[in-house]
Structure formats: C-alpha cells, structure tokens
Structure 1
C-alpha cells in the first residue's frame, strides 16, 4: 500500500497561474489580431531565447528589493551567470547588436513570449507573464515614435476597444529637465533620481499623497511594509507632484466646462474631442510656466510637439493619443518619449468588487540599450503589450469572441473488440478537418457521455452492435449535445421539444457520418480545424 503520510502536496508557487483551454483559445485569438496590426505596419517576427547572459540583460528593473534585483538567475557550469529574461526589449538589443551588419536599418520587428520577474507577488502581479512587442531600431526620427503610438491605438481598435482606451505620451527628457532644475542633477544624485522615477511611476496607483510620501521620508503600505523615500525637500516634492498632476488638473477643468455647456444647452458638449490637439499643445505650452525646466526639458517638449503634429496629420484624435506628464515608465533605459496604453473601462471582478484596469501596455525610446554592445549611438523605440493583463481585462468585460468554445467530437466505444472500427471513424472525421477523438477511458456509456460533456463536445458518435448489424445496413447515431442541453430547458410534450428531440439524435447510414457531423457543427457555428 502507498504511504499517504508521505504523499507530495500538489501546489502552485505564488505569482504563477495555470491556464485552461478556454483562456488559451481566447488569448490565441487576441494575439492573432495584434499580429495582424503589427504586420500591417511592416513589422516582421523574430524570436529570442528565454535565457540570456545576465550582463546582456542589464540592471534596469524598477524593483531592487528582491534577490538579483528582480531577475531569476543561476550560474552555468562554466561559471557564467545566466538569467531568465524580464522583458523582450533587452534580448532584442543583444540580437540586433550581434547581427547588426546583416539586418536592414531601420530594423522593424515584433516578438511575443513569456517573461519572468522575481518580484513580490500580488493581485495582478505575476512572476511569469506574456508580452507582445514591436520595435524600430535605427531611427532617431520622432516619426518612428509617432508610428508606435498610432500602432498601439490601432491595436486597441482591432480588439474592439474603441472609445475605451487612451495612449498617453510623455518624454523622459522633460522629467530630467525638471529634476535638473530642482537640484537633482549629477552623479551624486543618481540613486535619488532613480528613487524619484519609481515613486512617480506609482502615481496612478497611489495618487498625489502616496507619491509625495515616497518622494519624502517614505511610505508604509497596507501590509505594514515600509518603503524608504527619496528624502527630498518640500519645494522639490511640490514641483514634482505638480508636474505629474498638471494634466489631470487641466482635463478636470475641460470636463467641468463640458458639463457647464451641456447643462446650459441641453446637449452633450465635447470640448476635449473637438479641440484635443489644441488642448495638447496648450498643455505643452503651460507646463514650463508651472514647473521649472532646463534645456533638456525644453528639448523633450519640442519632441512631444513634433509627435503631436504627426499624430494629428494622420487623423488620430487626442481622445486616442494624448500628452500626459504622469506617464513615467519604471524601466531605467528609456531616454526620450514614453507611452502607455490605459483602458478606461469600469467593471467588476467575479466577487463584485470594482476593478480599475489601468495600463495594459507601454514603451518608449531607448537610444542607449543597443549602444551598450556597439559603443556607438543606435537609436531605438518600441512598444510592449501585457498580453496576460489585456486578456484578463477583455475577459472581465465580455470582450472575448461571443462564440462558444467547443471541444472535439467524441466517438464513443461500445465494444473493445471493435476499437479499429471506432478509430476508423475518428480518422475519417480528422481527414475532413474536424477535431475528433476516440474515448480512451474504461467507462461504459454514462461515463463516456459525462466525459463528452466535460470536454464541451458539440456532438458524440455512437455505434453499438444493433447499429453495426442493422438490417438496413451499417448505421451510426450522432447525438447533438448542444440541442440536448436546450431540451432540458423545454417542457416535454410541446411541439418545439418534440422537434428538437428528433434533431438532437439522428440515426444515419455509416457512410453519412462525416456529412451529418458537418451539418451539426455548421448549425452551431463550430469552426473546423484549419488545415
């Protein structure tokens, strides 16, 4: 007998999730829509491995409170340190540098895959998650950044999220200009600037008060953990908080004016939609009047103005793409424009709690990342979609394909001595590009039907000795499980019930098996397998 006291406990590590067939299918469909947009823009696929040399990935993660600074690392037998990739951008930089002479420049590519973070797990924070990136390497033009923003907007449109997202844009040079102007320049302040950067990146989650605490002595979270702050002076904190909150202040004023005009006229008035580009330009003009800047900051504002002009020329409204100083991005390697896609959806989770989706993707310009390998300037810009997060958001708001996800057709087994006959049926169905399987368990009829139900099979194929030896010739029974489920909701004896009962179970000649199954699948909109 097995010693149950020593049995291994089946458990999933924190920060990781298993994925079921329905989630995998919906994610696959979402990825194909994203891929179509990326390829429409002329980007081509490339794959890099999940493991890289640790020094090739660099130390750019925002979480330095974890072992190996947020990276899963191990030492090879030749004493070289290797790490699981924490994003898809750093491996791309290595790939481009290693194949620089052979690649066309600018080099436009997209990648998808799993990335890994050695971070403290929490709601919505996983140690393994999927990203889908697109990057242009070798162009310093703001047109490359503008195109990335446009592509991000088009991707959200393709996913059916029109009016429910915004691509927010900022520029690291502007923030650098503010920090330099308030006395945070120089190598001696490098660590404090990094702390400031990470504090500002939490603005959407913590708000002004939380960010101000992190810019000051520090902040204690709900769990009691204390995060040491940047220890800035009061005026420095005020300038930085004003910088990241100025956009929300102006947008609130616009919404108040819209509400006033709507109340007066009795009609909806959308000032922001009508003058979005003008309001963007106004914000870029007002910003240096509100917070101190130096030359670097003005260079960033000029780049943002170019980006806004290009997006406006391509007929993208500020409802889709807009300037927002609160966008910081936590990774250290960004050097210019940064962007973030935020979902504006309001919904509830499975427990009825309100859910704020926030960012589902982002990116920016990283002119120094490839240069680490080359020793020469190599401009680059890119965008990454958090696939797992976006898929979860779409699922919560019922944005998945409304069509039910069905399993395979199940061929039941009534006689173990006739396995070859049942296998022949399965082969015929598969030859017609129909997903099918033969029941391989040991159960009799009822367990087989329960199995088909759990597999969400649209129909089952049945052939016992009576059907095999039918006087009219060999027959099969094809049972429509979808109609069968509908029957349970109807009153017995009614005309509709009797009609569906006849349709739900059909006895047909053996040579009509494939045709009959195809008719049932077509009735319920079940797609056959792609050849």
Structure 2
C-alpha cells in the first residue's frame, strides 16, 4: 500500500488533566462514598442527583478561578444559543435545584450527593480537571444548630472512613470575623469590595502552603511563583496587612479560650461580634454532644477560598504521621470542608435562603488513606471456571450461578484458548481458584479445584517437571454436588 493510501488512525491518548480509573481505585472510591452516605443517611439526609451540565448564568459569579474569566469552567453553546457549563462543584447546582423546586420541598431541605466535577484549570501533579466530590447540605435553616450539625457530620465521616480520633481534626472559623477585620481596614462589605475581599480570602487560604511571607505578598502588591507566573495581590496597605495576618496567624487554643480572644480582636465591629456569637452557640452544642477540642477546634486561618461562604466555615484535616518512601514527613492538609452560604439560592429568588454544607474530594481523601495504610479492599478476585468443552457451556454457567448464590464471585471463561491460556488468564485476574471439569469429569460427577495461590508457592520449591506431576500441588477433586462447599473451604 502506498504512503498516499495509508490509513490514518487516531492516536490513543488521554486529554491532559483527566485520568483513567482502575478497578481497585473505583472500588476504594465506592467504599469511601458508601461510608459517607451511611453517615448522611443516619442524620436524616436524602440523596439527590443533579446533571453534569448547568446553564452558565445559573452558576453565576462564584467561579473557582475568577482571576481568569471564562476559563474556570468548560462551556459550550446549546442549539438554542444558551451557554452551558460543566459543573465545577455540587453546591451551585443544588442552589438551582432548590430555587426551581422551592415550594415543593420540605425545609430545611437536607440532601447528599456524589459525582464528578470539572475545573478548566492548568493540570499538574495531583491536580486534575475532573474529580469526584461528595457533599451534604442543609438548605432553609438559619440557626447555628445547622452549622454545628454539619461540623459533627464531617467528624463522623472521618470515623466512618476508618480514621481514629487523634488522626484527624475539624477546624472551624467564621467568615464574619474576617469581614469585621476588613471593615476596620477600609475594605467595604459590599459589591464594590467583593473582588478585593476574594483576593484576601484566597491569600489566607494559601497560608499552609506559602507561609506568612507568601501570604503577605498576596495581601499586598502580588507574588511571582516558582514557574514565573505572577498573581496580582489584594492591594491592602501595611496596616491592613498586619491586621489580617495577625488574625489569620493567631494561636489556636481550646475553643472557649479562642472565643474570649476573638471577642477582644473584633472590637466594635457588629459583624465580627455576630461571628463570635455564632461560634459560641456552636461550641455549646458540640460540648453537649461530646465533640471535644480533640475532634473539633477553632482556627482563624480557615477561610475557604470560594467566594460564596457567608458565616461559619470549617475544614477536615489529617493529623496522622504520614511519610513518603524515604521516611520524610508528608503534609496532606485539608481533605474536605464546608460552611454557611446564605446568598447562593437568593440569587434566583430574591429572598434570603440560608444554607450550610460539607464537601470532600474523594481522590484526595483516598490518597491520604492510602498513605496511612488505612485502605482495606475486601473484594476478592472471581473464581474462574475454565471451559474445556463448548457442549458443557450451560453447565459451566450453572456452576457460576451456584457460586454467586453462595456469595462467591465467579466467572466462566468465555474467551478463546486452551487450558494453558485459561490458566494464564486466571493468573492475570489474580484468581485464587480455577475450576476444571471436562466431559469425563462430568460423567463421573466430579470437579477439580486448583488453588493457584498455594500452587504458586509450592512450585517455587519443586525443581523438576516429574516432581511437579507427582506432587499435583494444591489440587483437589470434589463431587459436582459438593463443589460449592469445596470452593468455600479452599477460599478459607
């Protein structure tokens, strides 16, 4: 065939920032999500699923990267000329759903959801354009009790994921406290100061990564990172920078002592005083329900980067000693968080609709659990029923059905290949047991079971083929009627 007529085939490649997921990864994700769902269910929350696409105007101004307009989301124009965007989180679609179904919903409306979210951002190590979030939200309750419940929910999810008390902490702050500090610094709590306030929030949110010097630069003129990219700063003056940094780096004490310190820090600010009052009410509920300072603490550096939070905010952080392969300590940081967002639904309805929620990134949480050796996979590979005789295919599938009815994963080999190839297939699948039955075994009412794990170990000590044939390692013949019991016994 000439070069001119050569068939042009597409190159098999993944888009940057997206990943293929293995069976092991998907099963771990499912276990973590189900653990969280069990907590949400026990608190009386109900499941909801919203579509991946939303109209762009419904997502509103609360984009994950407002410094780069029209870049933070993936968007396309529908056939009716309306712009649609892939959701960047699960909260904005919830706000749209509540507004659209407001009169039909019992309030507070309490829902949970898990699903993919998308960010049109520069991908990097551990930074993907698609990832899974798991959320719980309460819409319609303005009391601090709703915030306290959400904080307790987050702590209980940590336990449900297999973490022990002392391996995690939920750290809480209140956006109103920072609002009071900024008001005193001359940044208005209005739309006019919204962009500057958001830059302040994002700067503080990077405190654990950049340190005080890096945050100070972002609060002022700006900062150039290691790659040469320059981020414009919030433009605060020296006095304001000192006040904000002093607030964000205030030492964390027990909750009661922190509240007393905050009362002095906010001074005459009404909004700041309101934030302190809400933290006091949350503290009372946490104390009454046994959530001590070891599980939930107050921390003024917690602000959450998104612009829609309006009151209490919190993050869940791992405290366990995690190290890399060279024994160096690894800081995982926040694995989830949330807070109050009273303005999101009101965009649609023109009236105040209080809301509070908790969200965690599933992949980030799983990575942390893996580093802690806390992931447990209880899914066993299937038992492989080899196909010796096509005329017996119906019988092979009957045998597989009997194993499944007994709670044992099983599959019939449906590919092409002799016994050797089928054994290789079973090995690549990680199967412990291969079931063999030909026409002679069928007539005799017998089935042969091979323990491939034990066989592999025994084979290491066998030097000759004759010895192998004589030993017939890890192989057992059972009756056809008793083969399920034989498989169960071999599985141990």
Give the TM-score of the pair, scaled to structure 1.
Answer: 0.85
Corresponding residue to 1:456 among 430, 439, 457: 430
Q: Give SS of 2:98's match.
A: helix
Q: 2:213 matched to 1:238?
A: no
Deviations 1:405-451 (A, max 9, x none): 32211111223454344334334333444322221222222221121
Match of 1:478 in 2: 449
Contact 1:67 1:118 in 2 (8 A): no
Change (3 A) 1:345 1:178: same
Deviations 1:366-391 (A, max 9, x none): 11111111221111111112112111
Tell me, in whole angstroms, the C-alpha distance in 1 between the residues paired with 2:75 and 2:336: 25
Tell me, in whole angstroms, the C-alpha distance in 2 between the residues paired with 1:62 and 1:75: 20
Contact 1:15 1:126 in 2 (8 A): yes
Deviations 1:165-193 (A, max 9, x none): 11111111111111010111154433211
Mark the runs of 5 or more structure 2 residues left unpaired by the alignment.
none
Match of 2:149 in 1: 147
Q: Give SS of 1:246's match.
A: coil
Match of 1:91 in 2: 93
Corresponding residue to 1:180 among 183, 200, 212: 183
Contact 1:181 1:292 in 2 (8 A): no
Q: 2:216 matched to 1:212?
A: yes
Q: CA deviation at 1:341?
A: 0.5
Corresponding residue to 1:337 among 284, 307, 312: 312
Deviations 1:2-26 (A, max 9, x none): 9888443222222222111111112
Mark the runs of 5 or more structure 1 residues left unpaired by the alignment.
252-278, 524-531
Corresponding residue to 1:511 among 478, 481, 491: 481
Match of 2:358 in 1: 383
RMSD (Å) for aligned C-alpha atoms: 2.4
Contact 2:262 2:276 in 1 (8 A): no
Match of 1:303 in 2: 278
Corresponding residue to 1:400 among 375, 396, 419: 375
Change (3 A) 1:293 1:354: farther
Q: 2:315 matched to 1:312?
A: no
Match of 1:270 in 2: none
Tell me, in whole angstroms, the C-alpha distance in 1 between the residues paired with 2:381 and 2:405: 17
Change (3 A) 1:154 1:462: same
After superposition, residues 6-45 of structure 1 pair within 5 angstroms as 6-45=8-47
Contact 1:108 1:134 in 2 (8 A): yes
Q: 2:54 matched to 1:52?
A: yes
Tell me, in whole angstroms, the C-alpha distance in 2 between the residues paired with 1:402 and 1:76: 43
Tell me, in whole angstroms, the C-alpha distance in 2 between the residues paired with 1:476 and 1:329: 61
Tell me, in whole angstroms, the C-alpha distance in 2 between the residues paired with 1:286 and 1:14: 47
Q: Give SS of 1:149's match.
A: helix
Q: Give SS of 1:338's match.
A: strand
Give the TM-score of the pair, scaled to structure 2.
Answer: 0.92
Q: Give SS of 2:376's match.
A: coil
Q: CA deviation at 1:502?
A: 7.3
Tell me, in whole angstroms, the C-alpha distance in 2 between the residues paired with 1:37 and 1:70: 32
Match of 2:113 in 1: 111
Aligned pairs, how many?
A: 483
Corresponding residue to 1:411 among 385, 390, 395: 385
